């Protein structure tokens, strides 16, 4: 069995027996916790004894720099890291795509919860507006209802923004999955 190693420029592969220790350059991302710099890289050298060494490095990089951000809802940061990841590995494999897809049930649940919260905010606002139509309200009651309506309007706007972000992120995740599936399909067709 031989190990295939991507050559300079990312186009040519060379083969080497697996029992031979190789010194090859590997670009290792260092995930930063700030959103201003999603992924930093440094040049390093790694001794590779087997194909599993490369797979372990790939898995570790994917889990720490990409999947971890997806699981906590930082979809844009995960995408930036995925871009750097695919600069190194050229495409996501089927397991990595499945892991991204598995993050979607959380998205569906979050979207449903956000929609319920938005509907509830609309209802509270409408109820208060209907109560304000009552001609028998005292000045003090009317003042309290107007203050409550202001609070509910602020809450409604906030929930609209949250819902919009959830829908935006979900659409982005779908597009991200489709994009990486196409890259994988292309890679498999060319292999």
Residue from 11, 12, 14 nearest 3 by CA: 14
Length of the chain (residues): 191
Residue range 147-170, pLDDT digits in tens: 999 999 999 999 999 999 888 888
Q: Is the pLDDT of residue 38 over 70?
A: no
Distance CA 80, CA 142 (A): 51
Beta bridge partners of 78: none
154 membership: H or E segment, kind and range: helix 139-190
Q: Is the pLDDT of residue 46 over 80?
A: no
Q: Is the pLDDT of residue 138 over 70?
A: yes
* Predicted local confidence at residue 14, as pLDDT: 54
Distance CA 177, CA 46 (A): 31
Residue range 62-99, pLDDT digits in tens: 999 888 888 887 888 888 888 888 888 888 888 898 88
Mean pLDDT of 167-182: 86
Out of 43-47, 165-169, 173-177, least confident range: 43-47
Distance CA 37, CA 100 (A): 22
Q: Positive or negative CA dihedral for 107, 111, 114, 120?
A: negative
> How many percent of the chain have pLDDT more than 90?
29
Residue range 7-27, pLDDT digits in tens: 545 455 555 554 444 444 444
Higher pLDDT, 191 or 163: 163
Mean pLDDT of 121-148: 97
Give CA torsion, residues 102, 107, 109, 114, to 10 deg.
180
Mean pLDDT of 24-41: 41
* Predicted local confidence at residue 57, as pLDDT: 86
**Band (40; pLDDT cuts 50, 70, 90):** very low
Distance CA 102, CA 17 (A): 36
Cβ neighbours of 131 (radius 10 Å):
15
């Amino acid at each position: 069995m031989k190990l295939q190693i991507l050559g300079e420029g990312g186009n040519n592969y060379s083969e080497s027996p697996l029992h031979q220790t190789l010194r090859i350059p590997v670009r290792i991302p260092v995930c930063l916790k700030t959103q201003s710099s999603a992924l930093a890289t440094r040049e390093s050298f790694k001794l590779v004894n087997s194909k599993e060494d490369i797979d372990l490095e790939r898995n570790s990089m994917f889990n720490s720099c990409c999947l971890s951000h997806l699981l906590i809802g930082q979809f844009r940061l995960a995408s930036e890291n995925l871009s750097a990841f695919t600069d190194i590995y050229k495409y996501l494999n089927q397991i990595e795509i499945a892991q991204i897809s598995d993050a979607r049930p959380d998205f569906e649940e979050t979207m449903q919860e956000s929609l319920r919260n938005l509907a509830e905010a609309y209802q509270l606002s409408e109820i208060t507006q209907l109560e304000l139509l009552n001609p028998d309200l005292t000045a003090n009651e009317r003042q309290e209802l107007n203050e409550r309506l202001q609070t509910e309007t602020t809450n409604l706007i906030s929930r609209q923004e949250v819902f919009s972000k959830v829908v935006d992120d979900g659409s982005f995740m779908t597009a991200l999955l489709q994009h990486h599936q196409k890259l994988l399909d292309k890679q498999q067709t060319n292999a």
